[in-house]
């Protein structure tokens, strides 16, 4: 029994360090200072809630579950160590400069893929621990480790479904219309085709910016987005398109380094809000993308108004992008990536 208490203590200690380290990674990778930390952010609440479930499950089983085996407790400690090692790997990848990490794999930088996989592994193991503890307490006679694993996979699928439902519900409360003139609209980048022409999704966003500037509803357009191998940048593609359509280049601003939505929202905060002092900012993207943009903007403590492009996807593509963006929303909530 004394050995069990010792294992519980180490598990709680490592879990606590895990939570603190995760918060550190979330804010440091986005170049925040400690004063920017906000417990009320939904993602931070989720991280804390999962931590509380782990600690509560440990204590309840240790105190009230007489059939709680020391072997299971040690297994949980090992899983907790591995979860923390995943975060350490993220920390290392973020701070080393290897050309290999900049190579693209299915249109995504290898470094970002590795970071995402390690973040996911860390969270999955914590969920696995929670379900192990739950099964240990409520169904000890029928408890087995594979069953907890299957429950964890089902739990992940359930969380994705909830994120999809949340995005669909929240989208109804996003007002895409606005009154009065805004200072600037930011066009978020999207895919560029091999002939350096904008993809239909990017073209729809550019056309919406053109419409707003021609109607004198915005003063300037900020074009954003880096590139994949063999293409011009997303920002330059959008810039060229608007120049060809007769938009005055004095009304266009160009950014060509960001690769993800979170990097583009961070660019808005650092360059448009903090450096240039823009106050009323519109972000142009697709409807399936708007909820994630607003959630990210809350995290970065900036106020933006979202406007959807007029490009319409067929239902299969809309469903695909809805699922993908809901997963992206979960990744941002939990890991700020």
Using CA atoms, how far apart are residues 310 and 287, in angstroms rounded to an integer? 9
So what CATH class is 182-335? alpha beta
- Burial class of residue 290 in the structure, from the number of CB atoms within 10 Å of its CB (0-12 exposed, 13-18 middle, 19+ buried): buried
Instruction: Note the pTM of the prediction, 2 decimals.
Output: 0.85
DSSP string of 93-155?
A: HHH---GGGGSEETTEEHHHHHHHHHHHHHHHHHHHHHHHHHHHHH-GGG--HHHHHHHHHHH
Q: What is the pLDDT of residue 137?
A: 86
Q: What is the pLDDT of residue 279?
A: 85
In the structure encoding, which two tokens stand for residue 100, read together? 């290999």
Q: What is the pLDDT of residue 230?
A: 65
Length of the chain: 337
Q: What is the pLDDT of residue 177?
A: 47
Spans of the chain below 50 pLDDT: 176-177
Q: What is the pLDDT of residue 323?
A: 92
Extents of the domains making up the chain: 2-143, 182-335
Q: What is the pLDDT of residue 10?
A: 95
Q: What is the pLDDT of residue 74?
A: 92
In the structure encoding, which two tokens stand for residue 257, read together? 């380094």
């Amino acid at each position: 029994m004394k050995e069990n208490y010792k294992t519980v203590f180490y598990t709680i200690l490592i879990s606590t360090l895990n939570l603190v380290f995760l918060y550190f990674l979330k804010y440091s990778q986005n170049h925040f200072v400690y004063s920017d930390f906000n417990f009320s952010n939904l993602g931070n609440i989720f991280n804390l809630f999962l931590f509380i479930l782990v600690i509560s499950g440990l204590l309840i089983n240790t105190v009230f579950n007489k059939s709680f085996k020391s072997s299971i407790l040690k297994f949980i400690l090992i899983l907790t160590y591995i979860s923390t090692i995943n975060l350490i790997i993220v920390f290392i990848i973020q701070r080393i400069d290897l050309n290999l990490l900049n190579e693209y794999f299915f249109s995504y930088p290898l470094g970002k893929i590795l970071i995402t996989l390690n973040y996911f592994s860390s969270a999955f193991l914590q969920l696995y621990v929670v379900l192990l503890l739950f099964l240990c307490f409520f169904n000890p006679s029928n408890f087995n480790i594979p069953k907890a694993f299957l429950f964890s996979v089902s739990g992940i699928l359930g969380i994705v479904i909830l994120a999809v439902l949340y995005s669909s519900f929240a989208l109804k409360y996003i007002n895409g219309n606005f009154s009065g003139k805004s200072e600037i609209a930011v066009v978020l980048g999207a895919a560029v085709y091999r002939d350096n022409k904008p993809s239909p999704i990017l073209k729809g966003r550019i056309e919406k910016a053109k419409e707003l500037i021609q109607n004198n509803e915005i003063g300037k357009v900020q074009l954003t987005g880096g590139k994949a191998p063999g293409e011009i940048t997303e920002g330059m593609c959008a810039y060229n398109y608007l120049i060809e359509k007769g938009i005055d280049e004095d009304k266009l601003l160009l950014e060509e380094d960001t690769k993800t939505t979170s990097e583009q929202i961070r660019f808005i905060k650092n360059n448009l809000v903090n450096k240039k002092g823009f106050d009323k900012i519109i972000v142009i993207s697709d409807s399936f993308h708007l909820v994630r943009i607003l959630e990210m903007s809350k995290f970065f403590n900036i106020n933006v108004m979202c406007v959807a492009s007029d490009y319409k996807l067929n239902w299969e593509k809309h469903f695909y992008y809805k699922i993908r963006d809901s997963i992206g929303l979960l990744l941002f909530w939990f890991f700020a990536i």
